[in-house]
Every structure is written in structure tokens, then in C-alpha cells.
Structure 1
Amino acid sequence: MVNFRVIAALGAAVANQVVLGTPLPLPADEAAPAAAKVKVMPFGASIASGCWRAYLWQKLQDNNIKNIDFVGTQKGGDCAGIDYDRDHEGHPGAQAKEFVDNKSLPGWLNSSGNPDVILVHLGTNDVINKTPTADIIKAFSTLVDQMRAAKSSVKIVFAQILPLADRFGSVAQKGITDLNKAIAVWGPTKSTVISPITIIDTTVGWNVTTDTDDGEHPNAVGSPKFAAKYYPATVAAIKSVST
């Protein structure tokens, strides 16, 4: 015999849950999935592999920007005892033109899950090796095309490169200045709405004597300063992906 009183009581209980704003639990297979982490790739030559990444990671964590994953096929070492994600795509001694000629980047992007955000510092070795500015910019354009082929909506933070000490000679120093001027012009022309390129100026306030040990690479003083230069644009890029 059907017990209509029991059925009515159960119906009332369900109704009370809805009215009181207490939702019934979803089955496990219908629960909302965890948000995917934003994949961030530091990319370039030896400077891209440096300890500034640890300070950038720490600053992001300290400001509750934790839904991130630094990616790349390379692993960094210890940096001032900071617990950080060591993955990156920095290759000491490398040149932008070399990356293009060897078709290196597409494979690295694929191995890293096609990053959402790419932080670029590249071109120093091209300048030291006297590659013409126009050829370096052409290589940059090809690399950006490869990034977008891997992910059409990739956000790119592209640095004007750090200055060099006098020991590198006036030709190299002028080459850095010329390249940075060219980057400032090139960036906006290559930027798109879906895949913006944000140019950052790393040269303001930079002292090659106190911020490096060798006149080129950031040291323990320079690394936090360099990370701070990347921080605002990196945060904006991460938030544009995760919202």
C-alpha cells in the first residue's frame, strides 16, 4: 500500500530546503571542476633563466595570485632559499635568430602545454654578436607568430632589454639602445586585441654596476628589481586569462 503521508512529508522536506536557500548537493560527476592554472613561461636566454623568476613568483604568491604555473622545459636552481616554481624556457647564450633558424620554440611550447602568458627577455646575445637590429626584430615577429600558432590568445609581456656595462664596448651598448627603441615601435604594431603584447622598460633605474656582478646579468640586488619591473604587466596578463 502506498503511504501518501510519507510521500507528502518527503515532498515538504525538499520544498523547505529550496525555500530556505539550502541547495541539494550535486552528484559528484556534476560538481564544478577546479579552475585550470594559468600557465606562465619565462622565455629568452640566460637572463630569462635567472633568479628574478623566484622573486616574481614570491611577489605573486604574497599578493594572493596563486592560480599560476610557471612552465618550460628547463629547471632553475636555488635562489636565496625561495620556494618557487623553477620551470622556465631560458637558454644561456641563445639568440632570437638562432631560435627561429632551429625552429626551437614550437616544440617547447607544445611540451609546456601551450602557455597562456609568455614573459620575454631576449636579444642581448644577438646584439653582442652584431646582428642588425632589423634582423632581430624580424626574428621577434616570427617567434610571436609561433607563440600565437600554439595559442591564439596568448598574452605576451616583452621586455626592452637590460643595458650592458662598458666592458662590452660602445658598439654593443649602442646596439642595445637601438634595439630597445625598435622594440618600443614594433610592439604596438604586432599587438592584437586577442593576443596583446605589453612592452616593459627594464632600463629605468637600472645600474649595471650595482645591479649586476658581470655588467649583464641581474645579481642578488638586481633580481628583485628586475622582477618588480615585470610584476604589473604579468599580473594584468594573468588576470585577463583567468577572468
Structure 2
Amino acid sequence: MSVFTGLIALAGMAQFVSADRAAVRIMPLGDSITQGYSASYRRSLWLALREAGKKVDFVGTMDGHYAGGPGPGDYDVDHEGHWGWTADEVLARISDWVARSDPDIVLLHLGTNDIGGGQDPAGTVKEIAGIIIRIRAHNPGIHVLLAAIIPVDHEAANARVRRFNAALGELVQSLDSGSSRVLLVDQFEGFDAGLDTYDGLHPNAGGIQKMTAKWL
């Protein structure tokens, strides 16, 4: 994203608004692509934000990768990524999570398992809209960076991913406001699932770096 509309800019805005907080509270939210098997974009993103001079606190009820512990101890490990989860499952729990973690900004990459499972993209988009509405019910001034999800290494599935991402773009236009930004982060464009994943689905080291750059 542009530095004027991406996470660096939003973190500065949130820190100004929430002057009583020591750091901007950011919730990485999603499925296995957020949690990671043994690594995800979360570490490199946190390090990049710190290098940019942003005081950030990653928040969530989770603190590990799917394979076990959180990994290197040089970043904030808290998150809300859940391996294998779909949008309806996140929708059912999101009100509790935001009440417990109280984020200023949410990074949302979700829908891969829904689309991969054959759900109609329109139904998944409706569930994601519900997630954002419930997030805003907790904090009407929250900012959401909503990802157009990364591709998978399967062209027929990617046709559905493209339709889904296009619908997310329309959703963002309907939900974005001056006091509570909802911005689309295009994680699809420029990501090669054949080169940037280790299994056709989950980002490898190169894919992680591409995702990190897009969030910023």
C-alpha cells in the first residue's frame, strides 16, 4: 500500500487519536495464513513497523504457530489467526476477541478456506461484512485493513478467488468512512502461488516478505 494509506499511516493516526495508549494495538486476524505453520508475515511486519519508528502492540488470544511455539523471541507474538477456520467461525467469535484485546487496527486476511471449500463468494463476503460490523460495534473508530487474499496454486480455484476479491473491493467502498477506515490491501496482485508458497497455499519466506510489503 501507499505510505499515505497503509499500516504505517494508520498506526500514526491511531496513536494520535489514542494518545493515552503506550502503543497502537494491532490485531492480525484470519486463518492459517495469519497464524503460520512455523512462520508468518507477523514477525517481519512487526519488525518493519518498529524500524519505521511506530510503537505497536500486536494483540489477540493466540501466541503461537500451528507447529508449536511462537518462534524467535524478537517480536510481539500475539495474534488472532486460526488454522483452518472459515469466515463464519470467525464471525461467531469476533465480538469476544475484540472485547478482550481492544485493538485500534485490525489486519484481516480471511476467506481462503471458504472459497477452497466451495462456498459461494457472495456468502463469504457477507460474513466478512458481519465481522467488520461487529468489530465496529466494539470500537466505532477502529480501522480495518482488509486483504484481497493471496492466490493458490490451482487455476480453477483462483477464478473463484478473483471473484471473491472483486466483491471485497465493492464491500470496502460501502464500509469505508473518515472516522473508521476500511481499506483494501491487494495481497493477490504480484503474488505467485507457484513460487511464493511452500505448498501451493501458505507463504514461504519470499511470500511472507511480499505480504509484509503490501500491509505497509
TM-score category of the 2 structures, normalised to the smaller one: 0.7 to 0.9
1:141 aligns with 2:129: yes
Aligned to 2:3: none
Aligned to 1:238: none
Map 1:154-193 onto structure 2 (within 5 A): 154-166=142-154, 170=156, 172-193=157-178
Q: Look at both structures and tell me which one has the larger radius of gyration over its CA atoms.
A: 1
SS at the partner of 2:205? coil
Contact 1:110 1:150 in 2 (8 A): yes
Map 1:95-106 onto structure 2 (within 5 A): 95-100=86-91, 103-106=92-95
Map 1:110-125 onto structure 2 (within 5 A): 110-112=99-101, 114-125=102-113
Aligned to 1:59: 48
Aligned to 2:204: 219
In 1, Cα distance between equivalents of 2:121 and 2:46:
32
Structure with more contact order per residue of length (Cα contacts < 8 Å, sep ≥ 6):
2
Shift of 1:78: 4.6
In 2, Cα distance between equivalents of 1:111 and 1:35:
16
2:45 partner letter: L
1:87 to 78, 81, 86: 78
In 1, Cα distance between equivalents of 2:22 and 2:140:
18
Contiguous gaps of at least 5 residues in structure 1: 1-32, 232-243
1:131 to 119, 125, 128: 119
In 1, Cα distance between equivalents of 2:95 and 2:119:
23
In 1, Cα distance between equivalents of 2:194 and 2:73:
25
How high is the sequence identity, in percent, across the aligned residues? 35
In 2, Cα distance between equivalents of 1:160 and 1:177:
9
Map 1:22-41 onto structure 2 (within 5 A): 35-41=21-27
In 2, Cα distance between equivalents of 1:156 and 1:209:
29
Aligned to 2:140: 152
In 2, Cα distance between equivalents of 1:158 and 1:99:
14
SS at the partner of 2:195? coil
Contact 1:133 1:178 in 2 (8 A): yes
**RMSD over aligned Cα atoms:** 1.6
In 1, Cα distance between equivalents of 2:189 and 2:89:
28
In 2, Cα distance between equivalents of 1:211 and 1:78:
22
SS at the partner of 2:162? helix
In 2, Cα distance between equivalents of 1:178 and 1:53:
27
Tell me which stretches of 4 or more aligned residues in structure 1 moved more than 2 Å. Answer: 33-36, 76-79
TM (norm. structure 1) is: 0.75
SS at the partner of 1:42? strand
TM (norm. structure 2) is: 0.84
Contact 1:58 1:82 in 2 (8 A): no
Taking a change above 3 Å as real, the CA distance of residues 37 and 208 of structure 1, as seen in their structure-2 partners, is same
Contact 1:54 1:82 in 2 (8 A): no
SS at the partner of 2:145? strand
2:96 to 107, 113, 118: 107
Contact 2:50 2:56 in 1 (8 A): no
SS at the partner of 1:188? helix
1:46 partner letter: S
